[in-house]
Amino acid sequence: PILVPGDLFKGDPLMAVPISAQHTVAGILRVGGKPGKPFAREELRLLDILGSLASLALDNSVLFNQVQDSALRDGLTGLLTHRAFQESLESAILESSRYNQPLSLILTDVDHFKSINDNYGHQAGDEILQGFAHILARNVREVDVVARYGGEEFVLILLQTNHRDAMEIAEHLRLDLEAQRFEVGGKVINMTGSFGVATFPDDSTSSQQLIRQADQRLYAAKQAGRNQVRGKVA
């Protein structure tokens, strides 16, 4: 601990110990004493112990948050994980229901992704997924949710977005992806994606049914030749 005599600043004696986290000083634990009464050695030792315990607790808190974040973020793309998406969707549906607002879901995946892995290797496939994730993330608002649904599939939660607007957003994403040129291993690869759109509450008020609707429409887009957007049939 740092000991400051009371007469140094014409005030009460003071002792302080730094509190650190991840090898960085995050704060200071200070204890004031009585005028004219120096701190005992036991008090200095106690403050030192308290400072160490506080630093340990702060370190553990930082590590816990890092572990939580790694569980919620996909290691390859940096997007939310499937679990985080499920939790976000449940919360979003509750909020949309409370305020009588629409919510749209876009389920998408990279067309012919298996052939990319087969022909160029998994490293190339990873780079394609990262590029696709970047395109999705840069085209939505901060309030929206973008997650890796699994494998080459991604999902978006568009808050306060009706079906027509969601279809337009999906088409914009499709065109953006189609226009990209991915350079992998010295070769340029053109990529496309297929999209399925479902909307709360028009299609369903259940999160699982909403996902199922979007998945069925994604499948329809792929069956129709891929590189398409499919939504509710008017």
Location of structure tokens 């106690």: 46
Q: Tell me the C-alpha to C-alpha distance, in Å, between residue 149 and each of 21, 107, 129, 202.
A: 34, 8, 12, 23
SS3 category, 52: helix
168 is catalytic: no
Q: Catalytic one among 87, 152, 171, 178?
A: 152
Backbone torsion region of residue 190, taken as left when φ is above 0, otherwise alpha when ψ lies between -120 and 50, otherwise beta: beta
Task: Give me the helices (H) in 73-121, please.
Answer: 82-98, 113-120
Q: Per-residue DSSP letters for 127-138?
A: HHHHHHHHHHHH
Task: Give me the helices (H) in 99-162, please.
Answer: 113-120, 122-138
Helices 122-138, 113-120: axis angle to 10 degrees equals 140
Looking at the DSSP assignment, which residues form a beta bridge with residue 28?
Answer: 18
Catalytic residues: 152
